[in-house]
Amino acid sequence: MSGDGASLAVDAFRVTMDHTRDASGLSELVKDGRLNPDDIIAVTGKTGGFDDTYNSSRVDADQAVRRFLLDHGTRPADVVEEIPMAFSAGVGTIMTPHLVVFTRTESEPAADGLPRLAFGSASSETILPEWIGSTRHVEANAQAVRDAAADGAMDPSDVEFVIGKSYYPALDEIDAARTAGASIPEMTPQEIFYFSSGSAANGVRVAVDGAPMPRAEEIGTNPALWSDKVAVSSNAWEGVGGESPSSHLLALGNRQGAGGRLRIGRAVFEDLLDIGAVTRAVRNAGLEVGDGPLPPEISSRIVASYIKYGEPVDGLFRGRRLVTEDPSYVKNLKTVVASAFSAMLQDNMIWISAGGKQQGPPGGGTLAIVLDVS
């Protein structure tokens, strides 16, 4: 904060994407005088593409936004390169590809004296292949959460939700580290993915909730060690956001004395039909709302929505068998979950990520909504 009595105000702007490298919506905001590119501190987005092979849409979006920042702003390339961006790919049927940019400026505290959104970001130290299967990965993510909280002028306990990307080493990197003498347990690609997801969840539990460090064998496996404050997807490094592979985490909270118009609300859903989590999150943000789909006067206040879910456990949903052996099951499940929550939100621009391990209860997940409460 500055020393002249001013506070910090976080704002956010959401625009649709017409293709994977489209940042024209941001350019229009600049043209209209609503957005200063130099105020942008982080970006999230849901990108197009639903291939079974490599999907480049995350990299495409990352490069497009950084190009926009260089073309329309004044910050040098090395500063723009370090701005954290968390993109989730996989858009099917009802979902709309979109960007959300977060800005932070000096402002007076909210006139009503109520808390407003605080936002911070940080990248972890470089994640090494030999950390897979150990608590060192959790420690790196926990420290990134602490650093993100500090960046947002928050105590870690003030953090309500963490969004981002948790890096995990690819198999060839692990093989190279083993050849160089590192002792790394044998893990399948799925196990590495689960470990990375669990390391993010436990990083939040350790940093925000003061939970003890889990045992290495519990990371990504112990169903009791789940966090209600995290929606972090896991990917191998794609050459974006800095010169080395690391986790990029964004911490959001509601802080007394902050300025602006936004607040965040969150909720947990017990399973994939527990869409009442939407209204619980809105109420958690301080707005009154009845049960059922959000009315226009509430849905029009949505600035961003984040959902992380895990697949039903053991192929069963409320005791009923699912046909999980169908090759299209995982892809179709994301579409179904997105459709159910979009209907409840009355809004289809959502950041949704699958495969959550220890992010929400088993077979359920976490949800956060950023709302205009002015």
CA pair distance 87, 57, nearest whole angstrom: 9
Residues 122 and 252 in one domain: yes
pLDDT tens-digit profile, the chain (374 residues): 333 445 899 999 999 999 989 999 999 999 999 999 999 999 999 988 665 555 688 889 999 999 999 999 999 999 999 898 988 887 767 889 999 999 999 999 999 999 999 999 999 999 999 998 899 999 999 999 999 999 999 999 999 999 998 888 888 899 999 999 998 888 898 899 999 999 999 999 999 999 999 999 999 999 999 999 999 988 776 655 556 788 999 999 999 999 999 999 999 999 999 999 999 999 999 999 999 999 999 999 999 999 999 999 999 999 999 999 888 888 889 889 999 999 999 999 999 999 889 999 999 999 999 999 98
**C-alpha angle 204-210-213 in degrees, rounded to nearest 5:** 75
Residues 175, 40: one domain? no
Residues 189 and 253 in one domain: yes
CATH of the domain at 323: 3.30.1330.160
What pLDDT does 5 receive? 43
**Residue 36's CATH number:** 3.30.1330.170
Q: Under a CB-based contact definition with an 8 Å cutoff, are residues 230 and 161 in contact?
A: yes
One domain, residues 288 and 251: no
Report residue 188 as tokens. Answer: 């399948």
Q: Which CATH number do you get for residue 169?
A: 3.30.1330.180
Same structural domain for residues 314 and 366? yes
- DSSP class of 175: H
Phi, psi of 296, deg, nearest 5:
-55, -35
Question: Domain boundary residue among 196, 228, 260?
Answer: 260
Q: Are 296 and 311 in contact (CB under 8 A)?
A: no
The domain in which residue 51 lies consists of: 1-108
Q: Within this chain, do residues 174 and 270 fall inside the same structural domain, yes or no?
A: no
Contact in structure between 98 and 15 (CB atoms under 8 Å)? yes
Which residues in 251-275 are b (16+ Cβ under 10 Å) and which e? bbbbbeebbbbbbbbbbbbebbebb
User: Does residue 130 sit in the same domain as residue 233?
Assistant: yes
Classify each residue of 11-38 as buried b or exposed e, where b means 16 or more C-beta atoms within 10 Å of its C-beta: bbbbbebeebbbbebbbebeeeeebebe
One-letter identity of residue 15 = V
Q: Are residues 240 and 115 in the same domain?
A: yes
Residues 252 and 353 in one domain: no
Shared domain for 66 and 206, answered yes or no, is no
Distance between CA 8 and CA 110 in Å, rounded? Answer: 10
Q: How far apart are CA 221 and CA 226, in angstroms?
A: 10
Last residue of a domain, one of 219, 240, 260: 260
Count how many Cα atoms sit within 13 Å of the Cα of residue 85 in the half-sphere of its side chain. 31
Measured CA to CA, the distance from residue 211 to residue 204 in angstroms comes to 9
Q: What pLDDT was estimated at residue 54?
A: 55
pTM: 0.93
What tokens appear for 13 in the block? 């702007």
Q: For residues 22 and 85, state if they share a domain.
A: yes
Q: Do residue 127 and residue 252 come from a single domain? A: yes
Side-chain-side CA neighbours of 201 within 13 Å: the count stands at 33
| Domain closes at, from 108, 123, 151 | 108
Q: Count how many domains the chain has.
A: 3
